Structure formats: C-alpha cells, structure tokens
Amino acid sequence: MTPSAAHAAIRFGLGARPGDAPPDDPRAWLESQIAPLPEAAGPTPDEIRAALDARRRDPASNPIRAFNRDEALAWATRLLTTGRPFAERWAEFWSNHLAISRRGAIATAFGGHYHRQGIRPHVFGRFDAMLLAAYREPAMLAYLDQAGAVGPGSPGGRRRNAGLNENLARECLELHSITPAGGYSQADVGALARILTGWSIGRGPEASEPTGFMFRPLAHEPGPKTLLGQEFPEGEAGGVAALALLANHPATHRALAAKLARHFIRDDPPAGSVARIEAALRDSGGDLAAAARAVIAEPLAWEPLTKLRSAQDYVLAVMRGLGLGAAAAPALLAALARLGQPLWLAPAPIGWPDDAAAWAVPEQLMRRVEWANEMASRAAFTPALTESFLGPLAPAETIDAARRAGSAREAVLLLLACPEAHRR
Amino acid sequence: MILQRRSFLLGLAGAVALGRSRMAVAAGPLGERRLVVVLLRGALDGLAAVQPYGDPELAALRGPLALPEPGQEGGVLDLGGHYGLHPALPHLHALYRQDQALLLHAVAGPWRNRSHFIAQDFMEMGATRRLPDGWLNRALAAEPEAAQGARRGLALGLQLPLILRGEVRVGSYAPPGQQVPEPDVLARLAQWHAADPMLGPAFAEGLRSRGFTAAVLAGQEPPPPGMQPFVTLAGAAGRLLAAARGPRVAALELGGWDTHAAQAARLPGPLGALDAGMAALKENLGPAWAETAVLVLTEFGRTARVNGTGGTDHGTAGAAFVIGGAVRGGRVIADWPGLGPGRLFENRDLMPTLDQRRIAKGLLAQHLGLGPAALARAFPESDDAPPLTGLLRAEA
C-alpha cells in the first residue's frame, strides 16, 4: 500500500480491511464514492408509531428496543464492512452535524429513521434539502422540543396554557446554520421559533406525511415574522423559506467549510483551505458533493495523521483492521459505549467533539489500551493486519517491536495501541 | 497474560459459585486431582529465575545479571546449594522449603526455533508440527472413564489458549476487572507516546491514575492491587477448582518475560506477579491444594550471556516449575550441562538436557492417571520423551 492509499483509508475512510485492494489512484477512489448512498433498511414511521402505541397499551412489550437494536446492529455491520468508507464517514459527519440523541420516547423510537431518512439520502445533495428533511423528522422535532411548541397567538395557544419553545430555533442558528459568527439576535431566535410553530409529528398515517411529519395549523403563530431582516409569511411555507435562507446563507457556508476543514485537515484549519471549501459550497448553491470534491482536492488534507481519532473512529479502525464483520457488530456497539461514545447518544445537540483536546484524555487513552488488549487476545499477528491497519504509516520501530514481541497478543497490541493508531 | 472485563462462564457446572468460598472435601479421593498449567509467554530467563550460582562460569557470562549468593544483600534464595531462586519469588521459595515446589532446569521442548509465536504454538500443540488442538485438551479427551464428567477443563481469561482447544468442551472464566496489559508493554507504549505532544501528557497521566508509576513500569515494583490481572485470574482459578463439582484442569497465561533490555530491573515485576498468583491460587484452593499440581512452562530459555543492553535474547533451554500439595518438591531436578566452553548450545544458550514433554507426560500419567495410549494421543511422536517419574507424593 502506498502512503497516499493508506492516508486515504485512514483520514478519509474508516481504516482499511485486510484484503481491501489498495487504490492505485487514491483521489479518484475517494471521488468515485461521491454518489448517493444505498438506502438503509429499517422500520417505517407507521411501524414505529404502531410500536409506540403497542407499548403504551402494554408497557411490558417493548418493540422499540428491538427496532433500535436492529438499527444499531445494521449500522455497525455497514460501517465494519463497507467498501465505500469515505461516503460513510461523510454521512457520519452530517449525522453528527445535525446530531440528535436517543433521549425521550419519540427521539429514541425515531432515531434510526432520522439518520436513515433525514440525513443519509441528502449527504451528497444540497444542504438546504438536508436541513429541511432533518427538521421534518419526528426525532429532531422531539429532541429539540419543537413538536410541542405552540404559537401564543394561535388558536391552540389562546385555548390552553401552551407556548413557544426556542430550543430548535436557537440550535438552528447557533449550531446548524449561520452560527454566532453569522450575527443574530434574540429577536431572530424568537422569530424563527414562531416561524416553526406547528411543525410537529403526525399521529397516524392519514394525518401525516410519510416521514411522520405533520404541520398543525392550529398551533401555528399567525402573521408574518421577520428573521435576519427578512419577512416570512404565515404558514408552513414560511418555515420552509426561512430554513432555505439559513441553509444558503454565506455565514452557513463559511461555518460548514470550517467544520469540514477541521474534520479533514486539522483542528485549526488554515484560512485558505476553509476559503476554498466555502467557495465550493457558495458556487454550487450548497451542493455537498461539490464540498466533498473540494475537501479531497485540498492539498493540506493529504498531510498525514494530523487529526486525533474519536473513540468511534478508533474502534472502527481497529475492528476493520482485524477484518471483523457482522458477527462483531454487538462488540462494536459495546466498545463504543465503553470508550465513551455510545451510538446516537451524543450528550448535547452540538454532537461529538472533533478536536484532539476532547479525546487526548487520560481515561480515554487507558480504556483504549485496555480494550485493544482484549481485542489483541483474539487476533493473530499477520502481515495483512500490519498492512491494513497502518500500512506504510506505521513507524519502523513499531513494526520491529511487534515482530519481536513476546506473544502474538503483545505484537497485535503494540500495533493497535501505538500513538499513530490514535491518529487519522 | 489474558485479561478480562466482564464475568462469564461457559460450559461450567451451575454449582460453581463465585465470590463465595465453597470448599472441597478435606481429603479428596483419587478423582479429586487438579492440574493447572501456567504458560509464561515471552520466554522466561531460566538462568535468572533459578540461578546456578554454583557454576563457576556464571558470573563471567552474566555479568550484572548474576545476583549475589544466598545470604548476601539482594542475593538469591537458597535451594540447598548450587542453585538459588530469584528473590522476587518468596512464595515459591516457601513452597520449596515445604517440599511443595519442584524446580527443573535445562528444560526445553523438542523444537529448536527461537520465534516466540512458533515455539508457543508448538508448546501448546505438544508437537513440532501443526496440530489443530492442544495437548491439554487431548489429555482431557483421554482421561479415565471413571473421572469423566467430574473433571473438566477451564481456561482463565477471555480467550481459549491453544493448549486447551480441541474436541473436549472446556469452560472459560474471566473475572470482572481491568484489561491492563503487562507493565513492560505499557512501558514501551508510554515511551512511544511520550514523543507525541498531543498524546504524551494524557497517556502518562492515565498510567499514573491507574497506579503505574515509573517504578512499576520499570518492573521494579508490582502494579497496584486490582491491576494485576494474573493474580486475580489465579485466585479465581483456585476458587473454581476448589468447588466440589468444579473443573479439575485449568490453564492460565502470563506475559512480560521478553527481557531483551534492562532485565535486572524488568524481571522482578513479572516474577512477582507469578509468585503472588501462585500464592493466591494456593490460598483459594484451600484443602484442595493437597490434590493439586501446577506446571509452569515457557516456550524457550534465553541466552546465557548478557547482551549489550543489560538483557538476554531468545535462547533454548530454561527452567520449569512443578508446584502443589501433591508434588514431591523441595528438589531441583537437572542434568546440569554446565556453562563452560563447549557446553553451550550453539555457543550461546543453555544446553537442553530435559525434554519439556517428559514433565507434562509425567504429570498426566502419575497425577491424572493417563495410560500409555492416552499419553501418546496427548503427545504424538514422543516415544523419545518418556514420562518423568517421581514428580508426585502419591502416584495415580
């Protein structure tokens, strides 16, 4: 494997698997992955609603738990075995950008659907389409409390003691779109919260869209609202237009470019790289495929091992390097929990951190060594492992020490827990 | 060493209770015999563990690695002249003085291969060609009809070592605890991480928080309690083997022996873990200790001469131990080849004079009562290595 092929697998992908044919042209290999991802299977919103109803009737039965387990295992199997690791990393990036957490019955029940249908179909499409789809997913509407919000001037608001909830509006401005660098006021937060009133979750198939979304006019705040100096009309269309404005705002392009550069280049990405990715987003009207091509083309993204792996990155790289597949999916999920990054359970809407300071933590590193030691006790020390795990990016000293180790387990451990193993 | 995280028991009798002592009968019948095999992965330096201080060539060959004679400051523990036990093995020495530890020297398997991986495979396969199973499992398959059902195998740790793999289903047990690697492996990882500005400080702090000080990493002090998985495993093995309907054959492993550099500083750590592990095993076995033999093996010995970095390299013959209440101990068994000119194997290693398989076969025959056909199945093509006799107080 050439250094740039190893780099492509480690920085842009999820780590190579033994037997993966290293690409002759790593950039072309990455670009070839920029295409719609295969649909991930899982229960429909109707089935999820039926399961929620079943649980309400009989708390002892818990079909949601089985759904979630199946979804998580399918995710784990896909990431362990995928031959399009860059595309899957790209999808993970966006799932984390628009993070939800499986907290509360609705967000838990619809969490898998959120990633499958809200994020995944849009990762190489336009960002405005992704933002809109995500905000019409029951999981997001429940997680950030939009589903229960009621306009104070709406028929529903006048009838009962209910009101606005600013959670989704605030996170939209702060995290998902223009960010504080884009400049917004508390008035804008309130305006967006009123614009999005009525965005809710359907009770049954007759009342809602196939995604599970339902606009409730009786909860919608009447009248036009002003967001970032622009007026938006009453009704569902006002929200669609407001989200489009935010998604395509220059400040959003700048924020997304900086976040992508931080993920694919280094924690403090150089301004020039950010500017080039930003230009790709701006010039393409927010096309994320164009952004992906810009990231791959960025020369600084090819400087090796400048990033620290998150726990998820580390676990995936180790297990893929060991050639583990579907049978190891439960072990993968357990490892994520053990290393402090349980699947779809980000502690806050900001998602999992993407900087070295968050992961170069004493307890984190000790748990990685201990987990790697456990994995190493089941693995053979083979040239294929060395080649797939770090390839030419492994220091000669590491390979030499592994070859001379006192047991196969020690040899594998030295490789899996060397400093380079924590980087990407 | 095998390390473990969560408890699990496979294929074991439900009567086995953990965390609660359930003692076996005081003096068990013949079928109560226990055999424990401890694999020292990485090649124990037999000349350091059981030092032939009476050999006139030792000091010149070993230089700084030769410890003072018994009675002197930091000296070896006396074994009755000529041989001394490393001072990091006080429990083993006490057992020797109670005639419960037998030390065997100039021992090697029939392989002449200095690769850890290949030699360990052969040590566990009981052969010098590739076999799909381990000799201890084949021995279980061949055990006398009368004992079947009562006796069964147990692997301590997360994985089944090759020595216990095969047709006979064996149990496996891993107590909850940290998955901490051996201090020498951690020391190397710490050294690599120290050069990394992003990871170095956090890695060092993580080790400190786990109780791995510089002295522990250098092997000069044992890891803190709870960070010695081998001692935990050996204690668990004792509890499980003591149970009336528990397993009767167990295998454990311990790493950290590959002392290519700074051996004087690094060897006390793993020796101390082995010593404490044997003490924990004995304590938890309780009265069943009287029915127990523990066989301690390593894949090969190390070079007779100290190398350029205060360590030793991969060698040939080394030491083995047989410990237990059932053992006729208090002796060193060795056809000592000497260390003088022309006496070293390939002019570098202790010359093998005792085949490792003879010790194992001796225990299988006299301790577990295996007949000739069963012994031949456990160790195929080993006619040139007849069972060593006289290892036990009372033979089966």
Sort out which chain B residues have CB atoms less than 8 A from A399's CB and list them.
none
Residue of higher predicted confidence among B207 and B246: B207
Residue B320 reports pLDDT greater than 80? yes
Question: Are A378 and B158 within 8 A, CB to CB?
Answer: yes
Which of A356, A361, A407 comes nearest B116 by C-beta?
Answer: A407
Beta strands B50-51 and B84-85: pairing type? Answer: antiparallel
Token output for A1: 């494997």
For residue B51, the enclosing domain spans: 39-78+100-178+226-265+282-316+327-347+366-396
| Closest of B174, B173, B167 to residue B134, by C-alpha | B167
Reported as a single tens digit per residue, the pLDDT across A254-269 is: 999 999 999 999 999 9
Question: Are A369 and B181 within 8 A, CB to CB?
Answer: yes
Which of B188, B205, B260 comes nearest A362 by C-beta?
Answer: B205
- Please give the average per-residue pLDDT across B303-323, as a whole number: 95
Residue B218's pLDDT band, with cuts at 50, 70 and 90, is confident
- What is residue B40's three-state secondary structure? strand
Q: Are A12 and A264 in contact (CB under 8 A)?
A: yes
Residue B177's pLDDT band, with cuts at 50, 70 and 90, is low
Residue of higher predicted confidence among B288 and B395: B288
Residue B273 falls within a domain, yes or no? no
Reported as a single tens digit per residue, the pLDDT across B285-298 is: 999 999 999 999 99
Count of Cβ atoms closer than 10 Å to residue B308 Cβ? 8
- The residues spanned by each domain of chain A are 33-143, 155-247, 250-302, 311-422
pLDDT at site B216: 86
Residue B169 falls within a domain, yes or no? yes
Interatomic CA distance for residues B130 and B387, integer angstroms: 22
Share of chain B above pLDDT 90, in %: 68
Sort out which chain B residues have CB atoms less than 8 A from A340's CB and list them.
none
Query: Do the interacting molecules here have an ipTM over 0.95?
Result: no
Residue B57 falls within a domain, yes or no? yes
Reported as a single tens digit per residue, the pLDDT across B88-136 is: 999 999 999 999 999 999 999 999 999 998 999 999 999 999 999 999 9
pLDDT at site B176: 64
Distance from CA of B202 to the nearest CA of A (A): 4
pLDDT at site A159: 83
* Closest residue in B to A308 (Cα–Cα): B198
Residue of higher predicted confidence among B350 and A363: B350
Reported as a single tens digit per residue, the pLDDT across B131-143 is: 999 999 999 987 6
Residue B5's pLDDT band, with cuts at 50, 70 and 90, is very low
pLDDT at site B162: 92
Residue B60's pLDDT band, with cuts at 50, 70 and 90, is very high
pLDDT at site B2: 33
Residue B301's pLDDT band, with cuts at 50, 70 and 90, is very high
Residue B178's pLDDT band, with cuts at 50, 70 and 90, is low
Residue B168 falls within a domain, yes or no? yes
Residue B325's pLDDT band, with cuts at 50, 70 and 90, is very high
CB contact burial A372-407 (16+ within 10 A = b; e otherwise)? bbbbbbebebeeebbbbbbbebbeeebbebbebbbb
Residues of chain A scoring pLDDT < 70: none
Reported as a single tens digit per residue, the pLDDT across B226-270 is: 788 899 889 999 999 998 888 899 999 998 899 988 899 889 989
pLDDT at site B90: 97
Sort out which chain B residues have CB atoms less than 8 A from A369's CB and list them.
179-181, 186, 189
| Closest of A180, A288, A282, A199 to residue A240, by C-alpha | A199
Residue of higher predicted confidence among B20 and A348: A348
Which of B179, B193, B257 comes nearest A371 by C-beta?
Answer: B179
Residue B50's pLDDT band, with cuts at 50, 70 and 90, is very high
Distance from CA of B203 to the nearest CA of A (A): 5
Q: Give the count of domains, chain B.
A: 1
Cβ-based neighbours of B304, under 8 Å, separated by 6 or more: B47, B61, B62, B315, B339, B344, B348, B349, B350
Q: Is A2 left (phi over 0), alpha (psi -120 to 50) or beta?
A: beta
Token output for B34: 């226990």
Cβ-based neighbours of A8, under 8 Å, separated by 6 or more: A23, A26, A27, A29, A30, A86
pLDDT at site B220: 77
Residue of higher predicted confidence among B3 and B263: B263
Q: Does B182 lie at the interface with A, CB-CB under 8 angstroms? A: yes
B84-85 sheet: strands from edge to edge? B50-51, B84-85, B77-78
pLDDT at site A310: 97
C-alpha angle B216-B219-B224 in degrees, rounded to nearest 5: 35
Q: Are A266 and A250 in contact (CB under 8 A)?
A: no
Residue B214 falls within a domain, yes or no? no
Q: Counting beta carbons within 10 angstroms of the beta carbon of residue B304, is it exposed (0 to 12), middle (13 to 18) or buried (19 or more)?
A: buried
Cβ-based neighbours of A86, under 8 Å, separated by 6 or more: A8, A12, A13, A29, A30, A33
Residue B25's pLDDT band, with cuts at 50, 70 and 90, is very low
Distances (CA, A) of B180 to B8, B173, B207: 18, 17, 10
Residue B61 falls within a domain, yes or no? yes
Residue B199 falls within a domain, yes or no? no
pLDDT at site B224: 81
Q: Does A69 lie at the interface with B, CB-CB under 8 angstroms? A: no
Residue of higher predicted confidence among A423 and B13: A423
Residue B12 reports pLDDT greater than 50? no
Q: Please give the mean pLDDT across all residues of chain A.
A: 94
Residue B236 falls within a domain, yes or no? yes
pLDDT at site B44: 98
